[in-house]
Structure formats: C-alpha cells, structure tokens
Structure 1
Amino acid sequence: MTNSDTATNAPDPTDRRLYASWARDVLRYRDTDRQGHVNNAVFATFLESGRVAIFYDSERPLAPEGASFVIARLVLDFRAEVHWPGEVEIGSSVTRVGKSSMTLAQALFVGETCVATAETVLVLVDNATRKSRPFTEDMRERLSHLGHRLPGA
C-alpha cells in the first residue's frame, strides 16, 4: 500500500459526522492579534475546552482518584482564519486507546467551516509518582463510546 492509498482510506478530519463529543467556546475580543484574527495560540485553548468536556465531567470524571491526563503530543493543522465575534464548536473523538495513553482526533468549526484539525496524545499519570498509570476497565469502556462515528473509521 502506498502513502496515497493510506491517505485515501483515512477519514476526512473536516467531516463533522466523525466526532462523538461536542463542546462550544466563545470567541473573545482579547483572543485577537495585530492582524485582526483570533491568535493561533488560542486554537490550542479551544481544543482544551473539547477535552475538558470529555474528561472532567463533574458528575463522573474519567480519571480515577489520584490521577490526571497530560498531553504528550499535539499536532495542530490550521485551515482557516477565525475572526471575532462569534463562537467555535469543538468536535472530539477517540481514535486509539493504549495501555495508559489515548489519541484524540479533534476539529474546530466556525459555522460550517472547519478552521483547524488536531491530533492529541494524552497519557494518564499518577499524581504522586508522575509516572504513567494503566487505564481501568471502566475507563476503557467509557472511551469506547467516544470513537469515530463514520462507517469504517
């Protein structure tokens, strides 16, 4: 299989139907830069809002007591400028679950336009030892419901 074959079979990260979890964030005037658009650093904050919606539910947080998630890798592709005022929608899906890490696909939308896509690797870390900690079976079960939504994805 060639690289072009692999890319053809991969789900389109700009397709809204791909994402299992959704969050919203507001565009703030303070987020703008000298060029008059939302600063690129703020895009990472929007992605965080999407992750918080999944992992930090006050009723039933995903991380067990004494553990938290840390970002090990973030790849962010900018696709369009964003201008204030307005809001951004953040789509997130789990694409891989390992022993103590997971990969998320995320996308940012303003209206119908996908303005950014990202791949984020998160690791569950023990708060006391600062070492990785394996996922529990309950966590795996909950993460399985957050996978890509497209057939074959």
Structure 2
Amino acid sequence: MTGEKRLRIEDFAGRTYDKLRYGDTDRQGHVNNAVFATFMETGRVELIYDPQNPLLEEGFSFVLAKLDIDYLAEVLWPGTVDIGTRVVKVGRSSVTMEQAVFQNDVCCARALTVVVHFDQTTRRSHPFSEEQRAKLEGWISAV
C-alpha cells in the first residue's frame, strides 16, 4: 500500500459507490466490519467486469486469493460510501490491487487484494494475454 499520504478517492483509477443498508449495521450502530469485504468486492467487480471495457474472455473469471483489510474509521448508516480501486502490481496470472472505502471524504478502510485469472475449464490459474496485461497496467495510478 502507499505511504502515509492521505488517500483521496481521486487517487484511484476505479471509482464507485455503495448505498448503506440498515442491515449492514451491528449492535454498536456502525457498519459491521464484515460488510467491508462486500464494499471491496463492489469496487473490484465494477472495475474488472465493466461491460463497456471487458477484460475477460469467455470461459475465464477472477478468483479472490487474498483480502487484507485495515479498518481506519467507523462507517455510519444512513448514507453511502465511495470505493476506490487501483492496480499496484500485475503478475503472470494474478493482479494485486489497493482499495479504499471513504465516507464523507474520510478514508475508513484500506485493503490489499489479490485476484487470480482463472480458467473455468481447467480450474487453474491462466496467464494474462498481452492485451489484458496492458489494460491492467493502465489501471495503475501513479500517486
């Protein structure tokens, strides 16, 4: 993850949002920590499964290999959160992403996520094509 610089949603190539649901809250009245994994999923999915800019070919998908979340501040219902996603490293068949969740411009969580390019027929990882690699590298934000 990046250094101690204050993160902003503008620092991310992929940007989306999620509406908070009452059911996301816990007994303390804030959004439950388990929901943050769903926020990160929303950010990844909207970036890598964008129908206007497809990354995957037929018969392939991405599988989650790692999700490491740092909780920085509570998120309160009602409202929305903004989710940022950017690529930090492209491997042979995996991609490492940095993600962050913001509420009212405050970074409430950061995550390091690794997803693997997965062949649905062989059920194994599959190397990226040059076109996929170029697209993924285009989502690296220089901050």
With normalisation by structure 2, the TM-score equals 0.93
Is 1:49 aligned to 2:42, yes or no? Answer: yes
Instruction: Name the CA shift for 1:57/1:133 in 2 (closer, same or farther; >3 Å).
Output: same
State how 1:69-80 maps to structure 2 within 5 Å. 69-80=62-73
Q: How large is the RMSD of aligned CA atoms in angstroms?
A: 1.5
Kindly provide the amino acid, as one letter, of the partner of residue 117 in structure 1: R
C-alpha separation in 1, matches of 2:105 and 2:19: 16
State how 1:22-37 maps to structure 2 within 5 Å. 22-37=15-30
Query: Residue in 2 aligned with 1:102?
Result: 95
Report the 3-state secondary structure (helix = DSSP H, G, I; strand = E; otherwise coil) of the residue aligned with 2:124.
coil
Is 1:137 aligned to 2:140, yes or no? Answer: no
Pick aligned residue for 2:54 from 51, 58, 61? 61
Check the 8 A contact 1:38/1:83 in 2, yes or no.
yes
Query: Residue in 1 aligned with 2:7?
Result: 15
Cα shift readout 1:120-152 (whole Å, capped 9, x = no counterpart): 0110010111100000111111111110231xx
Query: Residue in 1 aligned with 2:75?
Result: 82
Report the 3-state secondary structure (helix = DSSP H, G, I; strand = E; otherwise coil) of the residue aligned with 2:80.
strand
With normalisation by structure 1, the TM-score equals 0.87
Query: Residue in 1 aligned with 2:118?
Result: 125
Unaligned runs of 5+ in 1: 1-6
Aligned-residue sequence identity (percent) comes to 50
C-alpha separation in 2, matches of 1:86 and 1:47: 17
Instruction: Give the paired residue count.
Output: 142
Check the 8 A contact 1:56/1:62 in 2, yes or no.
yes
Check the 8 A contact 1:126/1:132 in 2, yes or no.
yes
Is 1:111 aligned to 2:101, yes or no? Answer: no
Unaligned runs of 5+ in 2: none
